[in-house]
Amino acid sequence: PQGAMTPGIPIFSPMMPYGTGLTPQPIQNTNSLSILEEQQRQQQQQQQAQAQQQAQQQAQQQAQQQQQQQQAVAAVQQSASQQATQGASGQTPQLFHSQTLTTAPLPGTTPLYPSPMTPMTPITPATPASESSGIVPQLQNIVSTVNLGCKLDLKTIALRARNAEYNPKRFAAVIMRIREPRTTALIFSSGKMVCTGAKSEEQSRLAARKYARVVQKLGFPAKFLDFKIQNMVGSCDVKFPIRLEGLVLTHQQFSSYEPELFPGLIYRMIKPRIVLLIFVSGKVVLTGAKVRAEIYEAFENIYPILKGFRKTT
Amino acid sequence: MPGGGHCPDCGSTELVEDSHYSQSQLVCSDCGCVVTEGVLTTTFSDEGNLREVTYSRSTGENDQVSRSQQRGLRRVRDLCRVLQLPSTFEDTAVAYYQQAYRHSGIRAARLQKKEVLVGCCVLITCRQHNWPLTMGTICTLLYADLDVFSGTYMQIVKLLGLDVPSLCLADLVKTYCSSFRLFQASPSVPATYVEDKEKMLSRTLQLVELADETWLVTGRHPLPVITAATFLAWQSLRPAHRLTCSLARFCKVANVELPCPAASRLQELLAVLLRMAEQLAWLRVLQLDKRSVVKHIGDLLQHRHTLVREAFREGPVGLEAGEEEPRGQCGGPGQGKEEVASGSCGLPVGKRPASPALLLPPCMLKPPKRACPPPPVSTVTGDENISDSEIEQYLRTPQEVKDFEKAQAARQDARSVSNPP
């Protein structure tokens, strides 16, 4: 549209195959691999003045102009994709020469990485932050559920607990709050409970246990079954303004930007399956994650895209 | 199929009652042979009771379509006609509505939602043809709530997997400006307020582009910006008579509703123009304020690209404004000399152009409302021991429980007293 785009918006160079239906990081589901990919990109950026994103894409798909590292990456890709189904890491990766790596192997993984195990262990934030964007999203809210395993009488709970509110006409659950960690719980008569407001997975688990203990002390045989984190919300600030109109043009299939309805752009990333709210001030909200690593990975994916929309004088 | 029927041609028993307009016929569904047919002509007395069969009824297309869907499709067509859209839009919108109706979630939705769905289909059609139609207009026409509309709109775009382009700003400006009743004198419009449409349109477009470039449009509703730009354009075309007119009065005279945020957009736009005016020496000496800058909008717009580039910068403050290389010609031969002179011979600070401001969206320029302390690093493992005393603080003592029950009972009595059975 004529008026909406200012002259001089840097549209991506045609070499960057964005919009192919995948996120710019068409990588397998291993976080360790994604972090290493980031580091590798940095290396290549020092070697050649190529676009960081381009190297990322080329590495995975074509291995064209790059050196043996690219081919080695491709080799690991194939081995990783084979192993992804098997779930075992038996091959020594030829690629990652020790001098190209600047960080120690991640805690909890074997030195023979990338071991393409499922990303269950939350990656410590230190590694992804320093190398690539330098920004770590902060977790703002964790929603978890747990089954107390017994039927509950909500009227009794509301009567005998100080921190409970119960309005059966409005909502069919008791709303209970505790001070430390500062959280809110919805306790249903079936014995299921939802815990919201914690800032980390461990805090959420501790809070859920405290609620279960309160219910226990009120005389119910409460257990602590099937604790599961359902949703994690994180936020961060890239500290530069973003042209949302441009972003929605280049990433149409992922973005939804309706300024008449909401001031932010809603970006639905496919891999990992995260929804990002991107605002003109550069603040980004990430939600929909089941594990912390998904939030970090999603932000590392979106950061190069957002940088592409930063005006350079 | 009706028992005993055989097709004389192919012998199959698959005979179907298929009327052809007003004539009932029994047709073989295999070979198409007409087995029997009803009477084509009618007697005089019969004809008195007959009614014309519309095409849509005779083709049987409405037999599969439910009544509520038919109603919705009629509403879609009506809405397209009210908005005076081209006829191709009508077919597209109807197709979208039918497509949406195939989903069970839509079929089972409330009537309010189905009504709003009509507007969504029309809006999507218009957007895809770059026809500038705002959601506010549709909500007004449908008497719908914007919240309900937005929910249904987002849902239907996701459900049908549609690619809806953004609202085209330039077209919206043209359409919206044309709706201002200022182009002809009338009892409500004084002669000095009447303006030429083309001039106003072109100046408004330039102002909107300026707003877009300086981050006043991204993330905001487009209409208030256009209202503010139209007002400034109109004022600047004849400032002598129009400076006294306020934004609210302008909208009233022009018979256009004033959107709430337009006033703050106006202030933001004036601030941008003032910054640009600082870069022109002959305007700098005039010490312009928000009212007087309107007189010079024409000049400012003429050189807006250069002025924006010089008045604003992307990065942090680096050099002093005077130490920068002499600026290029902007607006007059005497200009360049003056600026170079001001830079090199060190005129007092007041005479030098202001150091460039940051070109950022207003939300980034405002100071943060509250300081956000970094979250404390928590060493919680989730498996700590939970002390009994900590849990006890959340439980009522037996005395408290008794008191609470008493209070509840008292409240119940009070309520039953006030509502006698």
Average pLDDT of the residues of chain A: 74
Collect all residues of chain A within an 8 Å Cβ-Cβ radius of residue B382.
201-206, 209
pLDDT at site A127: 44
Most confident of the following: A83-97, A168-182, B1-15: A168-182
Helices (H) and strands (E) in chain A, counts: 8, 10
Question: Does residue B266 sit within a domain?
Answer: yes
Contact A138, A234 (CB under 8 A): yes
Looking at the predicted structure, is the pLDDT value of residue B352 above 90?
Answer: no
Percent of residues, chain B, with pLDDT higher than 70: 83
Q: Determine the straight-line distance between the first and last CA of chain A, rounded to whole angstroms.
A: 23
- Residue range B97-115: average pLDDT? 91
Residues of B whose CB is below 8 A from A206: 380-384, 386
Q: Answer yes or no: is pLDDT of B135 > 50.
A: yes
Read off the pLDDT band of A53 (50, 70, 90): low
Higher pLDDT, A29 or A55: A55
CA–CA separation, A133 vs A130, rounded Å? Answer: 7
Q: How far is B164 from chain A (nearest CA, A)?
A: 9
Nearest CA in chain B to A283: B364
CB pairs under 8 A between A and B: 142
- Say which of B134, B380, B391 has its CB closest to residue A200: B380
Q: Which residues of B touch A200 (CB under 8 A)?
A: 378, 380
Residues B188 and B161 in one domain: no
With CA atoms as reference, report the closest residue to A153 among A222, A224, A208, A206. Answer: A222
Q: Is the Cβ pair B219, A263 closer than 8 Å?
A: yes
Q: Is the CB of B396 less than 8 angstroms away from the CB of A3?
A: no
CATH code at position B7: 2.20.25
Quick one: which of A269, A247, A274 has its CA closest to A23? A269
Starting at the edge strand that comes first in sequence, how are the strands of the sheet with A283-289 ordered? A164-165, A173-178, A183-188, A192-198, A138-147, A225-237, A283-289, A274-278, A265-269, A255-256
Specify whether B185 is located in the same domain as B299: yes
Phi, psi of A175 (to 5 degrees): -105, 115
Within this chain, do residues B142 and B201 fall inside the same structural domain, yes or no? no
How much is the pLDDT for B318? 41
Considering the domain architecture, whether residues B109 and B207 belong to the same structural domain is answered as no
Same domain, B123 and B191: no
Domain boundary among B313, B345, B379: B313
Q: Is B137 on the interface with A (CB under 8 A)?
A: no
Q: Looking at residue B411, what is its pLDDT?
A: 92
Judged against a pLDDT cut of 70, whether residue A263 lies above it is answered with: yes
Q: Which residue has the higher pLDDT, B53 or A248?
A: A248
Q: Which residue has the higher pLDDT, B255 or B342?
A: B255
Asked whether residue B272 falls in the same domain as residue B307, the answer is yes
Least trusted range by pLDDT, from A100-114, A223-237, B230-244, B364-378? A100-114
* Interchain contact B54–A (C-beta under 8 A): no
pLDDT band at A41 (very low <50, low <70, confident <90, very high): low
Which pLDDT band, with edges at 50, 70 and 90, does A262 fall under? very high
Let me know: does B262 contact B250? Beta carbons within 8 Å.
no
Four-CA torsion A56, A59, A65, A69, nearest 10 degrees: 110
Q: What are the chain A neighbours of B152 within 8 Å (beta carbons)?
A: none
To the nearest whole angstrom, how far is the Cα of A211 from the nearest Cα of chain B?
A: 9
The SS3 assignment for B270 reads helix
Contact check, Cβ <8 Å, B157/A202: no
Q: Is A5 exposed, middle or buried (0-12, 13-18, 19+ CB in 10 A)?
A: middle
For residue B335, pLDDT over 50 is answered with: no
Write out chain A residues lying below 8 Å of B218, CB-based. 241, 243-245, 259, 280
- How many domains, in total, are found in chain B? 3
Query: Is residue B217 a part of any domain in this protein?
Result: yes
Domain span at B193 = 170-313
pLDDT at A12: 44
**Residue B373's pLDDT band (boundaries 50, 70, 90)?**
confident
A176 interaction partners in chain B (CB closer than 8 Å): 394
In sequence order, the β-bridge partners of residue A173 are A188
- % of chain A beyond a pLDDT of 90: 54
CA B366 to chain centre: 26
pLDDT surpassing 90 at residue B78? yes
All domains of chain A, ordered by start, with CATH?
144-229 (3.30.310.10), 238-309 (3.30.310.10)
Our CA dihedral for B238, B240, B241, B246, rounded to 10 degrees, sits at 90
Residue B219 to chain A, least CA–CA distance (Å): 4
Task: Give yes or no for residue B176 having a pLDDT over 70.
Answer: yes
At B308 the three-state DSSP class reads helix
Distance from CA of A259 to the nearest CA of B (A): 5
**pTM of the prediction?**
0.69
pLDDT at A37 over 90: no
Digit-coded pLDDT (tens) for A198-227 = 999 999 999 999 999 999 999 999 999 999
CB B1 within 8 A of CB B25: no
Given CB atoms, is A8 within the 8 Å cutoff of chain B?
A: no
Residues of chain B with C-beta less than 8 angstroms from the C-beta of A263: 219-220
Mean pLDDT of chain B: 84
Nearest-by-Cβ selection for A280 from B135, B218, B381: B218
* Residue B14 belongs to a domain: yes
The answer to whether residue B118 is domain-embedded is: yes
Task: Compute the distance between CA of residue B255 and CA of residue B194 in angstroms, rounded to an integer.
Answer: 13
Interface of A with B in 117-156 (CB under 8 A): 138
Q: Please tell me the distance in Å from B125's CA to the nearest CA on chain A.
A: 16
DSSP E strand boundaries for A49-203: 138-147, 164-165, 173-178, 183-188, 192-198
Note whether A253 contacts B: Cβ–Cβ < 8 A.
Answer: yes
Omega into B420 within 30° of 0, i.e. cis? no
Mean pLDDT, to the nearest integer, of B225-239?
Answer: 94
B261 touches chain A (CB under 8 A): no
- Output the furthest CA–CA distance in chain A (Å, rounded): 72
Distance between CA atoms of A101 and A39, rounded to whole angstroms? 7
The interface predicted TM-score (ipTM) is: 0.75
> What is the rounded CA–CA span in Å between residue A118 and residue B111?
46
Whether B157 maps to a domain, the answer reads yes
Q: Is B168 on the interface with A (CB under 8 A)?
A: yes
The pLDDT of A72-82, averaged and rounded, is 47
The mean pLDDT of A27-36, rounded to a whole number, is 46
Q: What is the pLDDT of residue A68?
A: 53
Q: Identify whether B388 is part of a domain.
A: no
> A82 vs B30, which has greater pLDDT?
B30
At residue A30, the pLDDT reads: 45
CATH number for B93? 1.10.472.10
Chain B: residue whose CA lies nearest to A219: B395
Residues B267-273: contacts with CB under 8 Å, at least 24 apart = B268/B211, B268/B216, B268/B362, B269/B207, B269/B210, B269/B211, B269/B216, B269/B225, B269/B228, B269/B229, B269/B232, B270/B232, B270/B294, B272/B210, B272/B211, B272/B214, B272/B216, B273/B297, B273/B300
Quickly list DSSP for B168-204. Answer: -HHHHHHHHHHTSS-SS-BTTB-GGG---HHHHHHHH
Percentage above 90 pLDDT, chain B: 50
Give the other-Cβ count within 10 Å of A98's Cβ. 5
One domain for residues B86 and B73: yes
Residue B7: band (very low, low, confident or very high) from pLDDT cuts 50, 70, 90: confident
**Nearest chain B residue to A310, by CA:** B314
How far apart, in whole angstroms, are the C-alpha atoms of residue A272 and residue B273? 44
Token pair listed for A47 = 């070697």
Q: What is the pLDDT of residue A108?
A: 44
> The tokens 């020594």 sit on which residue?
A92
- Dist. CA B394–CA B104, nearest whole Å: 47
Token pair 């979250």 is found at: B375
How do residues A82-121 score in pLDDT, each as one tens digit? 444 443 444 444 444 444 444 444 444 444 444 444 445 4
Which amino acid is present at B47? E
Q: Which of A202, A244, A262 sits opposite B218 (nearest CB)?
A: A244
In this structure, are B163 and B73 located in the same domain? yes
B317 has a chain A CB within 8 A of its CB: no
Structure tokens at A266: 């809603």
Per the structure block, which two tokens stand in for B48?
Answer: 């008195």
- Measured CA to CA, the distance from residue B41 to residue B22 in angstroms comes to 9
Same domain, B15 and B141: no
Kindly state whether residues B195 and B222 are assigned to the same domain.
yes
- Which of B133, B167, B201 terminates a domain? The answer is B167
Which SS3 state, helix, strand or coil, does residue B153 take? Answer: helix
**Residue A137 pLDDT exceeds 90:** yes
Residue B21 shares a structural domain with residue B139: no
Q: How many helices (H) and strands (E) does chain B have?
A: 21, 5
- The pLDDT assigned to A113 comes to 43
Residue B326, SS3 per DSSP: coil
B201: amino acid identity, one letter: L
Kindly state the average pLDDT of the residues B265-284: 91
Structural domain ending residue among the three candidates B294, B313, B332: B313
Residue B259 forms part of a structural domain: yes
Residue A229 pLDDT > 90: yes
Q: What is the pLDDT of residue B382?
A: 80
**Is A294 within 8 Å of A142 (Cβ atoms)?**
no
What tokens does B57 get?
């009824």
Q: Is A97 exposed, middle or buried (0-12, 13-18, 19+ CB in 10 A)?
A: exposed
B325 interfacial to chain A (CB closer than 8 Å) = no
Are B153 and B207 within one domain?
Answer: no
DSSP β-bridge partners for residue A231: A143
CB of A219 within 8 Å of a chain B CB? The answer is no
**Residue B267 included in any domain:** yes
- In the structure encoding, which two tokens stand for residue B287, read together? 């010490």
What was the pLDDT predicted at A201?
94
A206/B384 Cβ within 8 A: yes
Above 50 in pLDDT, residue B420?
yes
Tokens of A16: 């960057």
Task: Tell me the nearest-neighbour CA distance from A233 into chain B, angstroms.
Answer: 15
Q: Which residues make beta-bridge pairs with A267?
A: A255, A276
Provide DSSP, B338-351: HHHHHHHTT--GGG
Rounded CA gap, A182 and B53, in Å? Answer: 70
* A225-237 and A138-147 beta bridge pairing: antiparallel
- Per CB-CB distance under 8 Å, the chain A contacts of B165 are 1
